[in-house]
Amino acid sequence: MTEANTASPQKNTPNPARALLQTLQAEFAVLREHQPLAIGIDKQILAARPDTDRKLLRIALGMHTKSLRYLKTLKQASQRFNLDGSPASEVSSEQQAMAAEEHAKREQKRAEVHKAARLAREKAEKEAVAERRKQEKLGQLLDKFSRH
């Protein structure tokens, strides 16, 4: 194997599912606006875009429907929409509750991650201040004892 083949994929490597989702969002307002999707929307997309890979589509739709923005919209919505934007069915109270619960869990997790990052930053800043003070004191001691 060449060195290029053994290298781990970089973070900038495009995700095909994310690229498909971005294409779909550009093409369909219902996805772009994160409106609640009709049950079976994947069949509507495949009918409109028959060249779309089914597995990739399922991954892309999963990413979309698990996004915080989609969950936030779904927990407050009363209507689901077809690909063309026409009403499809109602959002049940159970679906709203599940979306609200998942949204709350994700927000809590996000807050915990932000808190951990903030605490790590504060700790690093305190350590840097302590190190700077230590170096200043060492410098003062060095100056004091090197004059004699």
Is residue 5, in this structure, part of any structural domain at all?
no
Instruction: Name the one residue in this structure whose structure tokens are 């060249």.
Output: 51
Q: What's the length of the chain?
A: 148
Please state whether 34 falls in left (phi above 0), alpha (psi between -120 and 50) or beta.
left
- Amino acid symbol at 33: E
pLDDT in tens, 120-137: 999 999 999 999 999 999
Is residue 115, in this structure, part of any structural domain at all?
yes
Tell me how many domains the chain contains.
1
Q: Are 36 and 80 in contact (CB under 8 A)?
A: yes
Q: Which domain does 120 fall in, by range?
A: 14-146
Is residue 90, in this structure, part of any structural domain at all?
yes
Is residue 2, in this structure, part of any structural domain at all?
no
CATH number at residue 62: 1.10.1710.10
The tokens describing 77, both together, are 């919505």
Is residue 63, in this structure, part of any structural domain at all?
yes
Q: Are 37 and 73 in contact (CB under 8 A)?
A: no
Is residue 96, in this structure, part of any structural domain at all?
yes
How many whole angstroms separate alpha carbon 118 and alpha carbon 73?
A: 29
pLDDT in tens, 14-66: 799 999 999 999 999 999 999 999 999 999 999 999 999 999 999 999 999 99
Helix or strand holding residue 56 (H, E): helix 54-65
Is residue 4, in this structure, part of any structural domain at all?
no
Helix or strand or coil: residue 73?
helix
Mean pLDDT of 86-114: 92
pLDDT, residue 12, reads 60
Is residue 39, in this structure, part of any structural domain at all?
yes
The model's confidence at residue 142, banded by pLDDT at 50, 70 and 90, is confident
